[in-house]
Amino acid sequence: PRPLAGRTALITPPGTSRMRVIANELKEAGVHVVNFAAGELDVDTSDVIKEAAKAAIDGKRNVYTPTLGLMPLRERIAAQLSERCGTPYTAAEVGVTAGAKQALFNAAMVLLDPGDEVIIPQPYWVTFPTQVEIAGARPVFVDTRETGYRLDVASIERAVTPRTKAIVINSPNNPTGVIYDRDAIVGVAELAVRNDLWIIFDECYSELVRPGHAHTNIVAACPVAKDRTVVVNSFSKSHALTGWRIGYAAGPSRVIKAMENLQGHTTSNPCSIAQYAVIEALRSGGRDFIDDVNRRLDERLDRALAIVHSMNVMGDGIGCAPAEGAFYLFLDIRSTIGKRHGGHIIPNVGALCERILSEAKVAVVPGSAFGDPTGIRLSYAIADEDVTEGLERLRRFFAAVE
């Protein structure tokens, strides 16, 4: 038989899923695994959203909608963005997609040509480089580890070449939990203007911010960058709707129009029922739900950090990226590499995570999935008692490294 298309070699399963699969298998076998590997909230979505979805089904709203979503939904998103960014967005500048993932894929496909370079700060969310490669372009990584996982605008500028077409910024960040400060965001926007680059700004975790920190939208901070920015957001994380697949892209109308043409030939509209439900969520505000989620995450983070700060490997503390937003802890585990646990050598972060799972019964995601072989990612959006129990197990695991 003929071989598959060459591009299939670029598309490997996300490195975030392997630990999740093994953890679920162990769970089904009756083992109490603490699963820090998920990328979603542990709470159910709100009744407002559920009732609106049921009403949409009963009201026979099961047919195709316009490709980029129902106009009332696009208008509400545009109004919300206009308020947040302090600069007007129209419905023609917003397209609704099957989650942020499709918005990002559309952006890659309509903005990038083969041979283009795209700057991506590292560690990065696993899907960015793959989508760039599927579009035929080349990801160029800028390491943020030496700057405390923060953006160093000078390093980014050094990575710009005549082939650079775009830069991807994700804040609050997955996997680090860092929120880039306003100065850095403005610095990136100005750099993009200077070098005529597109900005893909993924703010999927914009609503999940810890006390004392603030999320900066790049268009709000630098309105002159609006005509070169595609803002990507989603209801997955803020409204506990990961399975419903509603996200959006907001950018210049010619970009959104090109996305409409692409989406019209790929998936057509995102799920109609989910769209009606999200319209209702936006109409009713939904603030109480998000405030409640943030309150719970704050409490869990306090409890989690108390344990993380007491972790050590052979007397040296384990570093943690500043946990400012989203719901991730990113631990620096480089001191474990090359050491032993229970007589077994730990050659790399993948082996470390497998051993943590088999010995401590704790699932975490290896940083290698995010382009960082010196970190591991934990989600603290899990049950309170699991946060404590899982981190205590991890602390004991690290204490036994020699």
Contact set with ligand PLP (CB under 6 A) = 39, 99-101, 125, 170, 174, 202, 204, 234, 236, 242, 247
Shortest CA distance to 216 belongs to which of 227, 225, 93?
Answer: 225
| DSSP label at residue 331 | E
In angstroms, rounded to a whole number, what is the distance separating the alpha carbons of residues 360 and 355? 8
Measured CA angle at 248 (ends 229, 188), to 5 deg = 25
Q: At what angle do helices 71-85 and 272-284 cross, to 10 degrees?
A: 40
CB of 333: closest distance to ligand PLP in angstroms?
A: 21
In angstroms, rounded to a whole number, what is the distance separating the alpha carbons of residues 250 and 151? 23
CB of 242: closest distance to ligand PLP in angstroms?
A: 5
- Looking at the Cβ atoms of 242 and 312, the one nearer to ligand PLP is 242
- Looking at the Cβ atoms of 175 and 390, the one nearer to ligand PLP is 175
- Looking at the Cβ atoms of 187 and 270, the one nearer to ligand PLP is 270
CB atoms within 10 A of CB 402: 10
Q: How many CA atoms lie within 13 A of 142 on its CB side?
A: 23
In angstroms, rounded to a whole number, what is the distance separating the alpha carbons of residues 392 and 378? 13
- Looking at the Cβ atoms of 46 and 106, the one nearer to ligand PLP is 106
CB of 3: closest distance to ligand PLP in angstroms?
A: 30
In angstroms, rounded to a whole number, what is the distance separating the alpha carbons of residues 400 and 84? 48
Size (the chain), residues:
402
CB of 367: closest distance to ligand PLP in angstroms?
A: 15
In angstroms, rounded to a whole number, what is the distance separating the alpha carbons of residues 261 and 201? 21
Bridge partners (DSSP) of residue 234 are 247
- Looking at the Cβ atoms of 38 and 192, the one nearer to ligand PLP is 38
CB of 39: closest distance to ligand PLP in angstroms?
A: 4
Residue whose C-beta lies closest to ligand PLP: 99
- Looking at the Cβ atoms of 278 and 346, the one nearer to ligand PLP is 278
CB of 205: closest distance to ligand PLP in angstroms?
A: 7
